[in-house]
Amino acid sequence: MRKILLLAFSVFILLCINGCGSSSAPEATADLVLNNAQVYTVNKNQPNAEAVAVKDGKIIFVGSNSDVKKYIGKNTETIDCKGQFVMPGFIEGHGHIHGLGASLMSLNLMQVKNWDEIVALVAEAAKKAKPGDWIIGRGWHQEKWDKTPAKNHLGYPYHEELDKVSPNNPVLLVHASGHSSYVNAKALELAGVNKSTPNPSGGDIVKDKEGTVVGVLEETAQQLVQRAYGKWLSLQSEADRKAQWVKSIELAEEECLKKGVTSFQDAGSSFQQVQWMKELAQENKFNIRHWVMVRELNSSLRANASVFPIVNEGNGFLTVKAVKVSLDGALGSYGAWLLEPYTDRAGWLGQNTFNIDSLKLIADFCWNKNLQLCVHAIGDRANRETINIFTEQIAKDKSKDHRWRVEHAQHVHPSEIPRFKEWNVIASMQSVHCTSDAPFVPKRLGDKRAAEGAYMWKAFLNAGVIVTNGTDVPVEDVDPFACYYSAVTRKMKNGEAFYPEQKMTREEALYSYTMANALAAFEEKEKGSIEAGKYADIVVLSNNLINCKEEEIANTKVIYTIVGGKLKYRRS
């Protein structure tokens, strides 16, 4: 009996010693610690904290300044945040990564005030270009000019002025939306487009009443000139084309890091571009994380089905398991497919830019391959057709966690919103489109349709629909703060709020830009919030986005951008 008591006492002492040892030392010494911060975690179970510890690229601790001290060793890098705001890195929920980079390598027309400025920029570029070289630009929007050209059709100027300044160089200037392009006579000549050329299905070669080609190609009509441009590009070697593409990605990533974007959901890349991205991921060349939608025709998707899925390639920097289709165009270029005609273009319903039967085949392919289907739908007719096609597949197994997405869901009939919830469809939206487009939306739709169906974030949220956020860059600048400001105020440049009852709370808006985007990509276990076990993708900001003054939001500066525990950007 005495031996048993001695043995029990010895075991008790041993347990006490071991227990004291484990509580006095952390499981790991951190590589990086952020302290003295206002941490907004986007984790409802622990919404706020003071400090974060990181080890091997992942978060290992979230808590108080006092408790984080035990994770600090002699080799730990410590950032004293001095009371600044810390939150999960922004996830760009819908953008075009190559388009962003390419826009930084061509004429940037986003800030031009009128047609005269565009002509001047093209003239300057033509002086520097070799004869035959293409002059490329993007970002113009006729609804945002401070004056309408004297000679115009539907607000579009004729191409003669471009012809005068660039007679020997084809010019291709893409609309901010990407859904129309402005070209000069040389580009039209190379494309074989004249007054007798018929409109392609889903596109419009804009002509006046006399049949004169104005110079604007809407929706699929752009492909006529894009093919000519592609023929010129094909004269370059594949190595040169890849080098140009890689350069565009590098520039795009730099821009994202400056803006606090740590993950990017790319809305449409080719299989060739996916292969190049896979090579970059395998070589550990990426600085932000990429989630990619493949944009190819049905035949190509099936022929290359073995490419899917690519998941967490390059230690979590590349995932490809989604397909993108565009069913209509944009509202600004009269391409959004509507149930009723445009208010300011009699009888015009917009463009159905992708064959419905082909979309049904792609939907069937995605359902059977367990891929996410992401359909661009801006007009109410396009949204209705998309939901109809989605439900045909989802009805096969309503319990399946598909997370199919409608990209933009910009103008919906009120009856469609409950259907998003019923069929668990994600509304992938871009807040900044609302305030950017608002000045001309009532002109296109009329007040009633604008009030009942345009940019209905709150209505979607109240219905229980997941609403994500992003900028659609290069349609808009890749600026989370401008987008966040739009989400919580719906204020236009003149200070007037566009149907403010649809604005988000600050908490909803930050969720839409972080956790909602993670959920929309099946990545909620890896990113979207500051929690132990998730990637250490973190931003430090100059303003507290939850409680700073409204007018201070847009002036917020990124102090640090951290991806996988590594400091990728530091404000000088």
Q: Which residue has the tokens 């004269």?
A: 235
Angle between helices 380-394 and 356-369 (to 10 degrees): 40
Phi-psi region of 527 (alpha: psi -120 to 50; beta: other; left: phi over 0): beta
Q: Note the CATH number of domain 97-233.
A: 3.10.310.70
- pLDDT tens sequence across 465-513: 999 999 999 999 999 999 999 999 999 999 999 999 999 999 999 999 9
Helical spans, DSSP H, in 266-405: 271-282, 298-303, 313-316, 356-369, 380-394
Under 8 Å between Cβ of 353 and 297: no
Extract the tokens encoding 347.
């009888």
Give the mean pLDDT of the chain. Answer: 94
Tell me the β-bridge partners of 52: 34, 62
> Strand (E) positions, 331-437?
372-377, 405-408, 426-428
Comparing 209-218, 480-489, 553-562, which segment has the lowest mean pLDDT?
209-218
Q: Is the pLDDT of residue 5 over 70?
A: no
- pLDDT on residue 6: 44
Start-end ranges of CATH 2.30.40.10 in the chain? 26-89+528-572
- pLDDT on residue 4: 44
Mean pLDDT of 375-404: 99
Residues 6 or more apart whose CB falls under 8 angstroms from that of 77 comprise 31, 32, 33
Domain at 26-89+528-572: CATH architecture: Roll (2.30)
Letter for the amino acid at 96?
H
Mean pLDDT of 292-318: 98
CA–CA gap between residue 566 and residue 322 (Å, rounded):
28
Q: Which residue has the tokens 């132990």?
A: 532
Start-end ranges of CATH 3.10.310.70 in the chain? 97-233
Give the pLDDT band of residue 240 (cuts 50, 70, 90): very high
Q: What is the DSSP letter of 345?
A: S
- Dihedral sign (CA 548, 549, 552, 554): positive
Mean pLDDT of 329-355: 96
- pLDDT on residue 27: 66
- pLDDT tens sequence across 111-150: 899 999 999 999 999 999 999 999 999 988 888 899 999 8
Give the pLDDT band of residue 26 (cuts 50, 70, 90): low
Q: Is the pLDDT of residue 12 over 60?
A: no
- pLDDT on residue 178: 87
Percent of the chain, pLDDT > 70? 95
CA–CA gap between residue 528 and residue 517 (Å, rounded):
7
Mean pLDDT of 64-72: 98
Query: Shortest CA distance to 204 belongs to which of 227, 171, 181, 175?
Result: 181
- pLDDT tens sequence across 390-441: 999 999 999 999 999 999 999 999 999 999 999 999 999 999 999 999 999 9
Under 8 Å between Cβ of 207 and 195: yes
